[in-house]
Structure 1
Amino acid sequence: MSRIVVITHEHDRFLGKRNLLLRRGSPYLLFDVLEDLKRRGHSVRIQQGPAKTQDADIAVLHVDATVTPADHVDYARRFPICLNIGASDISKRRISGALLSEGDAWQGPVIVKSNLNNLGIPETLLNRRSKRAGRPPPFPHLPTLRPYQVYGSLGEVPDGVFENGDLVVEKFIPEREPDGFAARFWVFCGERERCTRYVSPNSLVKASETIRREPVPVPDEMRQRRRELGFDYGKFDFVMHEGRAILLDANKTPGRPQNLVKMFAAGAAELADGFEGLIRRAR
Structure 2
Amino acid sequence: MRDQKHIAVLFHARSLRKDLRSSVVFHLADRWRASGHRVTMLRGTRRYVPADVLFVHVDLSVVPDEYLELASRYPAAINHRVKDIRKSRISEQLVSAHDQWNGPVIVKSDLNYGGEPERRLGTPRALRWARAGGVLGRLHRSWLGGSIPGGWQSYRLYQRAGLVPPELWEDPAVVIERFLPEVEAGRFHLRVYQFLGDRSTCRRLASDVPIVKAANRLHSEQVEPHPIVATWRDRLGLDYGKLDYVIHEGTPILLDVNKTTGVDHLSAPERQRRRQYLAEGIGSFFV
CA contact (8 A) 1:222 1:245 kept: no
> Is the CA contact (8 Å cut-off) linking 1:191 and 1:274 kept in structure 2?
yes
Which one-letter code corresponds to 1:34 in the other structure? A
If the length of structure 1 is used for normalisation, what is the TM-score? 0.87
Instruction: Give distance in 2, aligned partners of 1:276 and 1:190.
Output: 8
- Partner of 1:199 in structure 2? 206
Q: 1:259, 1:125 → 2: CA distance?
A: 25
The amino acid that maps onto 1:182 is: H
Q: State which of 4, 8, 21 in structure 1 corresponds to 2:7.
A: 4
* Paired letter, 2:5: S
Equivalent of 1:16 in 7, 15, 18: 18
CA distance in 1 between counterparts of 2:121 and 2:259 reads: 17
Change (3 A) 1:66 1:119: same
Q: Which runs of 4+ in 1 moved over 6 A?
A: none
Tell me the amino acid that sits aligned with residue 8 of structure 2: V
Q: Which runs of 5+ in 2 are unaligned?
A: 137-153
Match of 1:27 in 2: 22
Aligned-pair CA distance for 1:88: 2.2
Query: How far has the Cα of 1:95 moved from its partner?
Result: 1.5
- 1:58/1:80 contact within 8 Å kept: yes
In the aligned structure 2, how far is the partner of 1:197 from the partner of 1:258?
A: 14
1:67-216 pair list within 5 angstroms: 67-127=62-122, 137=123, 139=125, 141-144=127-130, 145=133, 146=136, 147-216=154-223
1:168-200, Cα deviation, whole Å (9 max, x unpaired) = 101112212335311110000111100000001
Question: What is the aligned-residue identity percentage?
Answer: 35
Give 1:138 shift: 5.2
1:78 Cα deviation from its structure 2 partner: 1.5
User: Match of 2:88, SS?
Assistant: helix
Q: Which residue is 1:46 aligned to?
A: 41
Deviations 1:73-102 (A, max 9, x none): 222222121100111211001112322222
For structure 1, the 5+ residue unaligned runs are 18-24, 128-136
The root-mean-square deviation of aligned C-alpha atoms, in Å, is: 1.9
Cα separation, 2, equivalents of 1:264 and 1:95: 29
Structure ranking higher in helix proportion: 2
Q: How far, CA to CA, are the matches of 1:257 and 1:26 in structure 2? A: 12
Residue type at the aligned position of 1:270: Y
Secondary structure at the counterpart of residue 160 of structure 1: helix
